[in-house]
Amino acid sequence: MALLFTAPGGIAAPFTFNFKNCPQFLTWNNVVPLTSLRIETQEDGVIHDWIAASIAACNGFMVLGAQAANIVQMRIANGFVPGKNVTISGVTSAAGAIGFYGYSDGFGTALFKTTNAQILALEPCEFMDFTAIWVPTMAAVTDTCEVEYESGHRQLYNINDLVAQSSLFQEVPAIMLNNANSYIHKARFTCVAATPSYVLTVLIK
């Protein structure tokens, strides 16, 4: 694991750093929480633009085994992707240095991209061609996710179902839908209240 940069920290303190080649994972210690974090490449533009809520939701995606206390681990590619000119910027929330580390467990072929989507109240919102979707504030008992699989099978999930299913893939359960195996054709979320969601996809250029 290589140290990429150390942000000095501070209340509402911005930071920016650059490096060559894109690692599979970006990790840091969250004792000093981030208000926002943005990852972009010269070649592809902005690929991740997280706020505190989306960092908390996406942290530990498909991490098997317990994460160390206060460690945040974000997937930014499907492996080590060379030849990328990467810029990371963000804002810290309190005093205290934050070390950012990058590592990969093999070579990759593609970057991941995170986008924000708003699920409107009582308006079904359909997603296709995604790797994962997080809906951390999905709350009502009647909130649902209807999934159509590539096989043609249809399944209706509630919040508890989504949390239980997520535990098959990662140590920390979450209100999310995992499609890393690409066996979901489409998913339709219906929520009583307006609900933010965070969608991870493979960046295809």
- Out of 22-26, 50-54, 131-135, 138-142, pick the least confident: 138-142
> What pLDDT is recorded for position 188?
98
What gap in Å lies between CA 72 and CA 28, rounded to an integer?
Answer: 5
* SS3 of residue 204 by DSSP: coil
Q: Determine whether 66 is exposed, middle or buried from the number of CB atoms within 10 Å of its CB (0-12, 13-18, 19+).
A: exposed
Segment 91-114 shows an average pLDDT of: 94
Is residue 36 domain-shared with residue 92, that is, in the same domain? Answer: yes
Q: Mean pLDDT, the chain, as a whole number?
A: 94
Could you tell me the CATH number of the domain that includes residue 24?
Answer: 2.60.120.730
Q: How many structural domains are present in the chain?
A: 2
What gap in Å lies between CA 166 and CA 180, rounded to an integer?
Answer: 12
> What pLDDT is recorded for position 205?
65
Segment 175-202 shows an average pLDDT of: 96
Among 113, 130, 150, the domain boundary falls at: 113
Please give the single-letter amino acid code of residue 12. Answer: A
Segment 153-166 shows an average pLDDT of: 96
Among 113, 140, 172, the domain boundary falls at: 113
> What pLDDT is recorded for position 14?
95
Is residue 9 domain-shared with residue 75, that is, in the same domain? Answer: yes
Segment 131-149 shows an average pLDDT of: 94
Is residue 77 domain-shared with residue 163, that is, in the same domain? Answer: no
> What pLDDT is recorded for position 65?
81
> Which structural domain, as residue segments, surrounds residue 52?
2-113
What gap in Å lies between CA 58 and CA 68, rounded to an integer?
Answer: 16
Beta bridge partners of 121: 191
What gap in Å lies between CA 57 and CA 54, rounded to an integer?
Answer: 5
Segment 135-153 shows an average pLDDT of: 94
Is residue 35 domain-shared with residue 99, that is, in the same domain? Answer: yes
Q: Which residues in the chain belong to E strands, given as ranges?
A: 2-9, 13-22, 25-29, 34-41, 45-51, 71-75, 81-92, 95-103, 112-119, 125-128, 132-134, 144-149, 154-157, 176-178, 184-190, 195-202
Is residue 96 domain-shared with residue 120, that is, in the same domain? Answer: no
Beta-carbon-side half-sphere exposure of residue 159 (alpha carbons within 13 Å):
11
> What pLDDT is recorded for position 78?
94
> What pLDDT is recorded for position 93?
93
> What pLDDT is recorded for position 48?
97
Residue 74, C-beta contacts closer than 8 angstroms, at least 6 positions apart: 25, 26, 27, 48, 50, 55, 58, 59, 61
> What pLDDT is recorded for position 194?
95
Q: How many CB atoms lie within 10 A of CB 170?
A: 19
Is residue 104 domain-shared with residue 146, that is, in the same domain? Answer: no
Record the tokens describing residue 87, joined without a space: 């810029």
- Out of 44-48, 67-71, 172-176, 182-186, pick the least confident: 67-71
Report whether 196 contacts 133 (CB < 8 A): no
What is the pTM (predicted TM-score) of this model?
0.92
